[in-house]
Amino acid sequence: MIDQNNTKYQYIRFKDGKEIFAMVSEIDNKLQLHLPMNIMCKASGLGTGIVMHLGPMIPFTMDDTVTVELKDITVRTSISDQYISFYDEACTTWLDVRENDKIDVRTPVQEFKEKKESIKQLIAERLERDFTNIFEEYDEYEDDYENLLPDPNETIH
**34 shares a domain with 80:** yes
Q: In which band, very low, low, confident or very high, does the pLDDT at 140 lie, cut at 50, 70 and 90?
A: low
Q: Give pTM, 2 decimals.
A: 0.67
Could you tell me if 95 and 112 lie in one domain?
no
Claim to verify: residue 63 and residue 87 sit in the same structural domain: yes
pLDDT band for position 9 (50/70/90)? very high
Chain centroid to CA 123: 24
Is 157 a domain residue? no
Task: Kindly list the distances between the CA atom of residue 46 and the CA atoms of 39, 41, 42, 43, in Å, as whole numbers in the listed order.
Answer: 20, 14, 12, 9
Give per-residue pLDDT as tens, 33-85.
Answer: 999 999 999 999 998 889 999 999 998 888 999 999 999 999 999 999 989 99
Q: 42-72: string of b/e by CB count within 10 Å (b at 16+)?
A: eeeeeeeeeeeebebbeeeeeebebebeeee
What gap in Å lies between CA 17 and CA 4, rounded to an integer? 28
Tell me: do 13 and 62 sit in the same domain: yes
User: According to the model, what pLDDT value does residue 137 have?
Assistant: 63
Question: Does residue 144 sit within a domain?
Answer: yes
Residues spanned by the domain of 125: 108-148
Taking only the tens place, the pLDDT of each residue in 100-132 is: 887 888 899 999 999 999 999 999 998 888 777
In this structure, the strands spanning 19-27 and 7-14 are: antiparallel
Task: Give pLDDT, residue 143.
Answer: 63
